Structure 1
Amino acid sequence: MTKFTGERGDRSIDPTADQVRNLRDNGPEGPVVMLNLLKFRDLAQYPPEAGEPPCSGAAAYARYQTAFSEALKPLTQAEILYDGPVNNIVIGMAGSIETDWDKVLLVRYPSRGHFLGMMADAEYRKSLVHRYAGLERTVLLQCAG
């Protein structure tokens, strides 16, 4: 289990500076789809200063998702294509970390720049407390949109 390291939370679920530069500098022009594989904590781990009531990791992530899908819609122009649970492992070893995901989220952005603009936005950054609290681990894959 991971711990918070101050306001920024668990950095293992953030892109590295190199990954952000690569996203900025490489990839398709035009729309992109971000494929999120999400594994939630059983109980959200908010820092004490957040003042949030106890909840599940999934509920904490839902607070984060509301921020980027509703409050930031004018900035991101994001469109959620799929938002649902993982129901069955068809290929791969069930029970392994590679296949153990709770939810898949597919989000289309008009461009890589829209996604990067969201990441730099002050309101978005405030919502990250919910993402850090709720996620045990994640994978984010950029695809052509």
Structure 2
Amino acid sequence: MPTYLEPTEASATAFFMLGIKGPVVMLNLLRFREVADYSDLPDLAPDTPISGAEAYDRYMAHTAPFLLEAGGKLLFDGEGGRYFIGPEAEHWDRVLLVEQASPEAFMAFAQNKAYLSGIGHRSAALADSRLLPIVPQGV
């Protein structure tokens, strides 16, 4: 079963071709590794192994100031689980709703060098993810 951790060039192009004007909410579905994998990130690795969830918490703590600086905000952070309606075998550990001021603000945030210096915590944390842009009705 394929995993999804980063956008593809095609998905990024399609996102910007939507022509969204104004805010966009990103639905994040996250599945964590049992133990975070810092094997490619020795500079970020903690002294002792931590869980994927703990690594993601480190990512969120690092990310929060850059998100706010770009005009974004965390709307919801909750524990996931199995679907009520959906594939029975599929589950997500955490669900986030993150509002971005605009697609352009999101891209500026995602390319910020200081933000990128800590993105390895996300990579170490995640076994799989989904990111779905949601446009408020009437925008």
> Into which bin does the TM-score normalised by the smaller protein fall?
0.7 to 0.9
RMSD: 2.0
Cα 1:50/1:12, change in 2 over 3 Å: farther
Distance 2:26 2:53 in 1: 19
Distance 1:135 1:108 in 2: 21
Aligned partner (choices 76, 81, 102) of residue 82 of structure 1: 76
Give the equivalent residue in structure 2 for 1:21. Answer: 13
Q: Does 1:58 align with 2:49?
A: no
Q: Which has the higher helix share?
A: 1
Cα 1:70/1:51, change in 2 over 3 Å: closer
Give 1:103-114 correspondences, 5 Å limit.
103-114=94-105
TM-score normalised according to structure 1 size: 0.82
Q: Which runs of 5+ in 1 are unaligned?
A: 3-10
Shift of 1:41: 0.3
Q: Which runs of 5+ in 2 are unaligned?
A: none
Aligned partner (choices 76, 79, 85) of residue 91 of structure 1: 85
Task: Give a deviation string over 1:91-113, Cα, whole Å, max 9, x none.
Answer: 1243x13xx10010000111011
Aligned partner (choices 110, 114, 135) of residue 126 of structure 2: 135
Distance 1:30 1:87 in 2: 31
TM-score normalised according to structure 2 size: 0.85
Give the equivalent residue in structure 2 for 1:6. Answer: none
Q: Does 1:34 align with 2:26?
A: yes
- The answer to whether the 8 A contact 1:34-1:108 is kept is yes
Cα 1:87/1:136, change in 2 over 3 Å: closer
Please list every run of at least 4 consecutive aligned residues from structure 1 whose deviation after the TM superposition is greater than 6 angstroms.
none
Identity over aligned pairs, percent: 35
Q: How many residues align?
A: 132
